[in-house]
Amino acid sequence: EAGVTQFPSHSVIEKGQTVTLRCDPISGHDNLYWYRRVMGKEIKFLLHFVKESKQDESGMPNNRFLAERTGGTYSTLKVQPAELEDSGVYFCASSPSSGSLSEQFFGPGTRLTVL
Amino acid sequence: AQSVSQHNHHVILSEAASLELGCNYSYGGTVNLFWYVQYPGQHLQLLLKYFSGDPLVKGIKGFEAEFIKSKFSFNLRKPSVQWSDTAEYFCAVIHTGRRALTFGSGTRLQVQP
């Protein structure tokens, strides 16, 4: 079974540009999560999808971040325009059931550098 | 706001030494507790979890953790570490009614052969 995949693995952009990160969860997993780790700090929750619906977006830092999960499969996280403080590693995770708490399986992360 | 504290940011041990990594959380309600590990170049993966029942939880690779509700703690232990345990370890909680993981800042463990 394929794990959670994320694309790209690294992205270097300039301040003011737009970047779109993609996450493909494990097939059949209804729950999809985005997290971010800024250098030297803890991993922080951004948002949670159940299928195509945003269940919890309390961690989204501001309206420059837009997450979508059309069709309830893969998800994208767009940052527009990017700022220096957006640099960090963006993790995606998925879990199998919408009715019970279960382990979250993490992807390898996308390292975003904003210059 | 809820928070998770990991007391040690960087731990260096020799092989065969015993390990205990501290984790405390701030939330007073019902929590679900996790330890995740990230080996060099690999994904975050689950070491062990506590939802309910026996507060002493055993995980993969000989790790265990004990939930002490009165101390809001969930410390990770291993009696004898190996060089292959070199990794970053993260304590995390999920509070009742939510699904988002709240992570500690992580502990880098370096095991010297």
Query: Which parts of chain A sit beneath pLDDT 50?
Result: none
Give contacts of A3 with chain B, Cβ < 8 Å: 43
Which tokens hold the place of B77? 């232990």
Strand partners, A22: A7, A76
- Mean pLDDT across B40-45: 93
Judge contact between B85 and B111, C-beta under 8 A.
yes
Q: Which of A98, A57, A51, A96 is nearest to A75 (CA)?
A: A51
- Mean pLDDT across B36-41: 95
Q: By the CB < 8 Å criterion, does B13 face chain A?
A: no
Tell me whether strands A65-68 and A75-79 are parallel, antiparallel or unpaired. Answer: antiparallel
Mean of pLDDT over chain B? 93
Contact A45/B102, CB-based, under 8 Å?
Answer: yes
Judge contact between A61 and A44, C-beta under 8 A.
no
pLDDT of residue A40: 79
Amino acid present at A5: T
Which tokens hold the place of A42? 């803890």
Give contacts of B99 with chain A, Cβ < 8 Å: 31, 33, 48, 55-56, 95, 101
What confidence tens digit (pLDDT) does each residue in B79-111 have?
999 999 999 999 999 987 788 999 999 999 999
Judge contact between B91 and B33, C-beta under 8 A.
yes
